[in-house]
Structure 1
Amino acid sequence: MPISLPFIKEKLFENIFNNASNGIAIVGLDFSWVKVNTSLMDLLGYSEEEFYAMTFPDITHKDDLDADMEQLGQLLKGEIDRYQIEKRYFHKKGEIIWALLSVSLQLHEDGTPLYFISQIVDITKRKEMLWEMNAITEIMKNQNEKLIDFANIATHDIRSHIGNLGLITGFMEEEVEGIQDDGNFKMLKEALIQLENTLSHLNEVRKEEFNGRGHLKALNLNAFVVKVIYNINAIARHEDCEIINEVDGTIQVLAVPIYLESVILNLLTNAIKYSATKRNSYIRLRTIISDDFVILEVIDNGLGIDLDKHRHNIFQLKQTFHHHKDSRGVGLFITKNHVETMGGKIEVESQVDEGSTFSVFLQEA
C-alpha cells in the first residue's frame, strides 16, 4: 500500500521540528504554547510542561510585547503573511535572551486561522558584540574629541612660543654683532621656520574633515629628505652619524606633506638612536622605481633587529627592541600608519649588529 502524500508531509515536518538546531514552536491563537521543540527548551531553560502552563507574553520582555502583538494582529487580518522581529525573552534563570523571531500563520482548509508557527534564533552573542562595538566607538569618539581639544590648545600654545622665539632671535641679531654668520644661529632660525611649517601642516591634519587619501599631493621626495636631514643635522653631528643622501632629485611622489616628513624623520632619528658605537655610523637614503611605486630605502649599519623574534610585531604599538632611555615603541607604529594612509606600505630587513634597511613604498606621482 503506497504511503500517502499528507503522511510524508506530516513526517517531514515532525523531523524538521524535532531536529532543528533553532527553536521552533506552534503557538495557539490564544498565545499559548501548543508544541515546542528541544532546541527551544534548551534555549530558554523551561521544560515542556512549564511551557504548556504559560503563554508567550509571560516570558516576553514588556518593551517588545506591543510590537510583537501588533504584527500578530496584522497576520490575523491577512495584511501580511509573515513577519520577523528582534525581541527579548526571559530565560528561566532570569537572564535576557535576545532572539530573531520569525512568525507565520497556518490556516484551516476553509481559510480560517489555525495556529502560529514561530522560529526563534538566538542572537544574544551577536547583540553583545554589537553593544561592545558601539561602546568602543563611543569611547573612541570621546577620545577623539579630547584629542581635538588638546590639539587646539597645543597648536595655539606652541605657535605662541614660536612667535616668542622669533622675537628673541630678532633681538639677538640686533644686539650681537656678527651672529647672522654663526652656523648654529643659522640652524636655529631655520629650525624655527620648519617648526612653523610643521605646525601649519598639523593644523590641516587635525581638521575633522581631513582624510589622508583625499589630501595626497605631488611632492618632490628629495626636497623633503633634504629638509629633514637639515632639521636633525645637530643630532646626527652629536652622535657622529653620517647621513648620505642618494635620493633622485627628480622623483615626485603622491603623499601628505606632514605624513611624508614624519615618516622620514622617524626613520632617520631611529637609525641615529640605535647606531652602533663601536664603528663609524652612517645612514644612506636612496630611491628605486618599481612598477607604480617609488621605494625609499633607509639603510643603516646600526644595532639591527632580531627579525626571527620580532618580525610580526615590529610595527606594533609599544614595541621596543633595544634598551634606550628614549624608546617608547611609538615611532614605527605611527610611521606604518602614515605610509598606509598614503596608499603605500613599509618593509624591513635587518641583521643583529649589522644594520637595517627600511623600504618605504610610495605612489609615484
Structure 2
Amino acid sequence: MLLVLSLIVTFRYQAIKEAERYEMNNILSVVKKNIEQNLKNNYATLITLALSIDDSGQPKNFEEIAESLVSSYKNIDAVQLVPDGIIKMTYPLKGNEAATGLDILNNPLHRKAALKAIKSKAIYFSGPVELKQGGLGVVGRLPIFKKGKFWGFSAVIIRFNNFIKSTGIDTFGENNYYFQLSKVNPLTKKTEFFLSNKTDFSKKYYKTVDIPEGDWKLYIISKKENHFFDLLPISTIGFLLSLLCGLFIYTLLKRPSELQNLIEVQTKKLTKSEFLFKSIFENAGLGIFHTNTITGKFIDANDKICQLLGYTLEEIKEMDYISITHPVDIQQDLDYMEKLKNGEIKQFSMEKRYFHKNGDIIWVSITVSPLWEKNETPNHHIAIVEDISARKEAQDALLESKQKIKDLIDSIDGIVWEGDSIEPGITYISKKSEAILGYTPEEWTSDEMFWRNIIHPEDRDWVIEYSTNAAKYRKPFDQEYRMITKNGNTVWVRDLVSIYTVDEERIRYRGILIDITKSKQFEIDLNNSLKLVTEQNKRLLNFSHIVSHNLRSHTSNIQSLISLIEMSEDEKEQNELLGLLKSVSETLNKTMENLNEVVSIQTDINPIIEKLNLNKYITKTQEILHSQITKNNVIINNTITDDVHIQFNPAYLESVLLNFISNAIRYRHPERVPEIKLSYYTEDNYQILEIKDNGIGIDLKKNGKKLFGLYKTFTKNPESRGIGLFITKNQIDALNGKIEVESNLNEGTTFKIYFSHATKENLHH
C-alpha cells in the first residue's frame, strides 16, 4: 500500500506541476498578446502620422490627426513628429514642453534605439526610459523615408504605468504568481528589471517570453516554494489507508475481542478521512459540482462555485445545470452528456456561459467526468469549473482592436495592400479597391498575377522592372503609373511602397495606391494650356514686330512726302510728289489688307472642319491656274487616288493648294520644262501631301529661317510679295498641321504638307 501511495503522490506532484506550467503558459500568453495588441494599436497610430507627411516633407493637419489618434487609443499619452531626429511637434504639448528640441540621435539614452529603428526600417519600442518631460515611459518610433531618403520619425509615448496597466498584469495571478519585465541597458550592457518585487527569482519556478518589438523579456514567477501542502492531503490519506490495511491484517490475527476495538479505531479514522476529503472539496482552487446525471440537479458544490455564481449552497442544491446555462450553449452541453451516458466518450470539456445570480454572464471552462463504473447505469458525475471571463474579455478586446484597425484602413482615401516574397501576389487589400478600381478583394487575392494583369500595357514592363529592382535591394519606392479598371477605364495611381524584412529569406511589402487621375489630367491640361499660350505669345510677338516694322516704314514715307510737298513751290513737282504719296498710300492699304487676313486666320478659334476630297480641290486649283499652266507648258503629274479625303477647312485648302502650285509655276527654271509632282501618304498621326517641282530652288542655309516670314522674298521675280507662304503657314498651323521643305538651288523644291488626323473636338480643345 505504501508503494502504491508513493506512485500516487509522484503522479499527483507531476499533475500539479503540469497544471501550474499550463496555467503559467496561458497567463503569459494572454499578457504577451495584450502587449502585442497594445503595440499594434501604436503601429496604426505611427503609420497614420507618417502618411500625414506630403512628398515635400511637410506635415499636414498634425494637430487634428494627433488629437484623433490620442482620443481613439486611450493607452497613448502623446504623439510626436521628429524630423531629422529632433523633436519638433508634440501632442498634447502641455506637460511635454521639455521634450521639444531634443536631438534623439545625439542623446545617449535614445540614440541606439533610434539607429536600430532606422537600420531595420521598422517600428522599434525603446524603454522603459526616463523621459525628458519626467517620469518613466515607453517610446515607439517609426522611421519615415521620403523619396528614398531618411526624413525622421513618427513617435508615440506611453507612460510606463499606463503601459503595464494595459497589459492586464495586475489582473492575473494575484495569489499564486507575480510578473517581472527586463531589458539589457544599451549603455551599461546590464539587465535591468522594471516591475516591483525585484528580489532574485533564479531559484524559483518561472516562465519567460521575448517581446522583440522592444527587446524585452517578460517573466511569470510562481510564489510557491514547493507543493508540500498540495500533496499533504493525499499523502496523509494514503498513509492512513496503508496503516489501516496493516492494522486490518493485524486485527485478523488477533482475538475476536480485539476486533471491536479495531472497528472503533477505524470508525474514528474514517470519520477523519471523510473530514479531510470534505476539506479538499471545499477549499479547492477550482469550482466543483457534484451532479445527478439522470435529473441534472446539483447534489453538492464547493465554496468556489458559490462565489462564482453568487448563490448559496442551499440555493444551488435546488437547481439543475440547465437552469444556469446560457440558452445558446444548452444543446451542445446536452449532446456531450448523451455521448457520455452512452459510453461514446470517457469525459468531455467545453467552454460555456453561466448566468450569475445578478444576471451577469460568466464564461467558464468545464471538465465533466462520470462517477459510474463501466457497464453500470449512469448516476452521478462531477464537473470541474474554471472562470475564463477575463480571458474571453481579452479575446473580445483583441477582436475589437483588429476591427478598429480594419475600419481605419478602409477609411483611408487610398487602396491599402500587403504582399509577401514567399507567397506571390497580393495577400491583403482593403475594400477601397472596389470603389476606385472596381475589383473586389477576393479577385485580387485569388490570382497571384492579378496586379500585373491590370497595369496599363504601356506601363506594365517598366513598373514590374522598377518594383523588382527596388525589392531586390529592399528599398521603399514611390511610383506613378496607370491601371485598367473593371469597366475598362484608365486610372492614374500613385503607389507608395514600404518594405519590411521578416528574416534573411523573406520580406513583406506594404503599400497604398492613391487615385491621382484628376491631378494628372489637370497636369496634362495645364501643360497643353501652357504650350498653347506660349505659341500664341510667339505669334503675337512676331505679329507685333511685323506690324511695327511695316507700318512704321509706310508712315515714315508718307510723313517725308508730306514734308516735301509743303516745302515745294513748283506745281509740277507737287503733282509728282502727290502721285508718289498716292502710291505709298495704296501700298499701305494693301499691307493693311494682308495684315487683316493674317489676323483673321490667327483669331479664328473654331474654323470649320469638313471631310474634303483632295483630288477635287487639286482639279479646281488647276482650273484656276489653267492659263498659267498652258502658257508655260507646265506638266502636272498627280498620283493621288480619288478616294483620299482629309479633315480641313475648305477655304484654307483652296488657299494652300493655290499658293504652292502657283509658286511652283512662278519660280520655274528657265532652261527646262516645268514639272510638278503631287503625291500622298500617311505617317504616324498625319496625312501628308507632297508637292515637288524642278524649279530654281531655294538656298535653305541662307534663307531657311526666313522662308515663311511676312514680306520675305528671295528672288528678283516682280510677282514676289512675301505674303503667300506666311499666310499658308498660319492656315496649316491653325489646324494643328505643319510644313517641311527640302530644296537645292537650280534643282527644285519639295514641300511636305502635314494634315492632322485630329477630330474637330480635339482641334477646338
Task: Give the TM-score normalised by structure 2.
Answer: 0.21
Higher relative contact order (CA 8 A, sep 6+): 1
Greater C-alpha Rg: 2
